[in-house]
Amino acid sequence: MKIGKQTFKLESMPYISYTSSIVGPKEVQGPLSSFFDTHINDVWDKEKTFEKCESKMLKTCISNLEKKANIKDDDIDIIFSGDLLNQCISSDFAIRNFNVPFLGLFGACSTFCEGLLLSSVMIESNLANTVICSASSHFCSAERQFRMPLEHGNQRSTTAQATVTGAGAALITKEKISSSNARITYVTPGKIQDLGVKDMANMGAAMAPAAFNTIAQHLTDTKRDIDYYDAIITGDLGEHGSKMLHDLFKLENIDISKKHIDCGCIIYDLKKQDVNCGGSGCGCIASVFSGYFFNELTAKNINKILLVATGALMSPISSGQGESIPSIAHAIAIENEV
């Protein structure tokens, strides 16, 4: 049911029953290391190309999810998956191995929440019972597509972020099939925001207005305030983008800084790991949610979260043509049933 301007209330409150996560060598050295299910030891993982490695990572992630939930391909109604590469090749090639209907998504770094949103809407509409939503990214394949060759010796801008090598997948079900009580209660698809930021090395600042818009609209539509949630989690605003989000809320006289956690800021040790402003990419929120936050939800350390994945919807072509960076954010309210 639509409430307010752009939020949907899900009467069926789909369960997030299981999650699965996989990360790369750098991420496993970060502070969240113990929460991820598995990791690859190097950026190749015995594959010949970075793209193949990313696909394999996503495939492993979804296979692990099936094993955890003890389900087969036939039990899954549909998979929503996406990544950063042109034509979503990581997802296409990974899901080639599964005998399941597939819808590929592109929402840049907002893909995971876009997938969660569509998965839960499929269940809400009674069209599906068991849905998988996944997303992946790989530092090296993203660098190749968006930036300079890896071996090129250059300095990064202070606002730059590092693409997370990782993938995450979640199993969304109509019925309660695991010990997890985490349910999706509201979803708010975002509107594109663009405040004219053109710097591809400052995507945090480009995406902060989208995060602001979606969070503010979600709170207005649901008539909730910030204190309702235990945490408001953004995907990959990074250190700089997070500051921008806090400042945008300050303009409305709201202090969000105490409730706000950014996955890009917590996946790495920002001081020691040479990542400038933190992590980015579809795999960032996908792996951090699937690994860390889902664990916190099942352990009931947190009970009500608003998951907001932000995406910078540019390409090297649009940036080359002098366009600014349009951004989007989708919000998913996840609450433990008490």
Q: Using CB under 8 A, list all residues that contact other proteins.
A: 48-51, 144, 148-159, 193, 195-197, 202, 205, 209, 212-214, 216-217, 219-220, 240, 243-244, 247-248, 251-252, 254
Q: Among residues 58 and 256, whose Cβ is nearest to other proteins?
A: 256
Q: Among residues 138 and 183, whose Cβ is nearest to other proteins?
A: 138
Least distance (Å) between residue 151 CB and other proteins = 4
Sign of torsion over alpha carbons 225, 226, 231, 237: positive
Q: Among residues 115 and 278, whose Cβ is nearest to other proteins?
A: 278
Nearest to 162 by CA among 275, 271, 283: 275
Q: Among residues 126 and 253, whose Cβ is nearest to other proteins?
A: 253
Burial 60-79 (b: 16+ CB within 10 A, else e): bbbebbbebbebeeeebbbb
Least distance (Å) between residue 86 CB and other proteins = 13
Structure tokens belonging to residue 151: 């071996």
Least distance (Å) between residue 48 CB and other proteins = 7
With tokens 């480009």, the residue in question is 206
Least distance (Å) between residue 213 CB and other proteins = 5
**Strand 102-105 relative to strand 38-39: parallel, antiparallel, unpaired?**
unpaired
Report the Cα 56 to chain-centroid distance in Å: 19
Nearest to 55 by CA among 40, 71, 70: 40
The 3-state DSSP composition of the chain as helix, strand, coil percent (nearest 5) reads 35, 25, 40
Least distance (Å) between residue 293 CB and other proteins = 24
Q: Among residues 205 and 263, whose Cβ is nearest to other proteins?
A: 205
Q: Among residues 105 and 219, whose Cβ is nearest to other proteins?
A: 219
DSSP secondary structure string, 8-58?
A: EE-TT--EEEEEEEEE-TTGGGSTTGGGSSEE-SSSSTT-SSHHHHHHHHH
Least distance (Å) between residue 168 CB and other proteins = 26
